[in-house]
Amino acid sequence: MANNYSNFNVKSREFWKDGWGGLALAILAALTIRWGLFESYVIPTGSMLPSLLINDHIFVNKLVYGLRVPFSENWLVKFKEPERGEIIVFKHPNEMGTFLIKRVVGVPGDKIAFDAGTLYINDVAQERTPDPKNEVFMKIRDYDFKQDKEGHDSLMHYDHFIEKLQVTGGIKEHSVLLRQGVADDHFGPVKVPEGYLFMMGDNRHNSNDSRYWGYMPKENILGRASLIWLSCDEMLPVVGVLCNPLTVRWGRLLNAVN
């Protein structure tokens, strides 16, 4: 008996199960997840060392702050505002095609200053304590610094600290790097205007952040970094978006982003 099924018969069950309709639904589902739920990004530079290493693959929660109108910076609905201490992926304020990842250190109304390696929020110095034997810090390579600045640099020129950032409801502890002997790191004070955030990298002397390009508009937010799902020392030389399986950092897999 002749089969009347056609790949383009939208009224047939086979079209939606095995034909082009099924493929279209799969693509639509993938795009919906990427638009509204989460998306994967790879860390390309050392500006967030040691909290995030180069070639960390992270999931970004795109639903935590709300839902956007597709292909725009406008919100359909907002659930919550970004808070101090959160790590956010966002569009560069001056280059919308460039994505950055930094930590929120200032919310609207905050007075921000940075002096001699110390961050000041509303005139209060954020406490930091040395942590020279931090396990992640000891695994940073000299090569990781060359990714983020011109010339040569080495881990031996940096100190690791735990910064105790004042956040809503208490203190958030996170890692920061400071380069030894830097004397010209004075910034501010400035006051964060309404609708904007002040962003800084944890690698404080190797980060292109709000100290250089200004405040980050909230509409530029893409989502909050949530989980490291893969990490490796090296990417494959031919397929630069894939990890070299021989260099996977197994201890970082499925770690929450702090």
User: Measured between alpha carbons, how far is residue 96 from residues 38, 91, 100, 114, 181 in Å?
Assistant: 19, 5, 10, 26, 35
List the catalytic residue out of 62, 91, 102, 172: 102
Phi, psi of 24 (to 5 degrees): -65, -40
* Under 8 Å between Cβ of 59 and 40: yes
Q: Cα(4)–Cα(215) distance, rounded to whole angstroms? A: 61
Q: Cα(214)–Cα(210) distance, rounded to whole angstroms? A: 4
List the catalytic residue out of 47, 207, 210, 231: 47
| CA-angle at 256, arms to 48 and 139, nearest 5° | 50
Report which of 180, 226, 188 is spatially closest to residue 206, judged by C-alpha positions: 180
**175 in active site:** no
**231 in active site:** no
* Under 8 Å between Cβ of 199 and 138: no
**Active site positions, annotated:** 47, 102
